[in-house]
């Protein structure tokens, strides 16, 4: 996804109008999202940091990681954050047949839904790993009742060649009311950049009067 700019151009959003790229609002609201968890090394730190700023977020979870670390998954829920399906094994849509891709999505759905038993939470958010999704895959996932949530601004926190200061600038300079869905990763690979940038992003926008909400479609 290195070819993707930090701020998604409008023409990309127009090509895929059935995907969620941002939310129209005059309010100062940002939607922080975290992909690839839950992971014991970084997710709890992320939850603690968000709590300091009374910030809610959305975690797009890998089914395999939920199976390995259900206690961390439930910590996300207990803090009032939203969750979404990020496939079972972080598969690339462009390199996977539609049938195999949907099987992977379904496997994650089964694992995550089981962990949601005895809650009122409905699993209806999906984000494709790498932002890669064939048209047929996207249509099929929407037919399953999912909202496909993309992003407005990407931090590039996972990219080792990106300095942590640049990761911060990617968000500070690009996020706004009109570009309000931001991608971070609660993964070990992204931890250096994310742990540097996230507290500063929260502090910067909190001082400007922004609030941080979880994505929800009832």
The answer to whether 50 and 202 have CB atoms below 8 angstroms apart is yes
Q: Measure Cα distances from 157 to 22, 74, 164 in Å.
A: 20, 25, 7
CA distance 163 to 159: 9
Token pair in block for residue 20: 């969620």
The catalytically annotated residue of 69, 81, 90, 185 is 185
CA distance 188 to 194: 10
The catalytically annotated residue of 22, 35, 109, 157 is 35
Cα angle value 178/180/186 (rounded, 5°): 160
Asked about 185 being catalytic, the answer comes back as yes
Asked about 35 being catalytic, the answer comes back as yes
Annotated active-site positions, please?
35, 185
């Amino acid at each position: 996804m290195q070819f993707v700019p930090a701020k998604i151009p409008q023409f990309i959003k127009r090509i895929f109008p059935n995907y969620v790229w941002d939310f129209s609002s005059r309010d100062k609201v940002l939607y922080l999202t975290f992909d690839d968890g839950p992971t014991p090394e970084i997710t709890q730190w992320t939850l603690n940091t968000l709590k300091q700023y009374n910030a809610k977020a959305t975690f797009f979870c890998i089914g395999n990681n939920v199976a390995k670390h259900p206690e961390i998954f439930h910590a996300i829920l207990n803090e009032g954050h939203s969750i979404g399906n990020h496939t079972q094994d972080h598969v690339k849509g462009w390199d996977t047949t539609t049938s195999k891709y949907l099987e992977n999505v379904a496997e994650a759905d089964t694992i995550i839904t089981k962990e949601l038993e005895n809650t009122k939470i409905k699993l209806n958010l999906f984000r494709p790993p790498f932002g890669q999704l064939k048209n047929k895959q996207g249509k099929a996932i929407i037919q399953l009742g999912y909202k496909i949530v993309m992003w407005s601004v990407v931090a590039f926190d996972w990219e080792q060649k990106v300095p942590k200061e640049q990761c911060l600038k990617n968000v500070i300079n690009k996020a706004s009311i009109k570009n309000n869905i931001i991608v971070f990763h609660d993964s070990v690979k992204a931890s250096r950049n994310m742990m540097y940038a996230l507290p500063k992003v929260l502090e910067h926008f909190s001082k400007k009067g922004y609030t941080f909400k979880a994505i929800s479609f009832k």
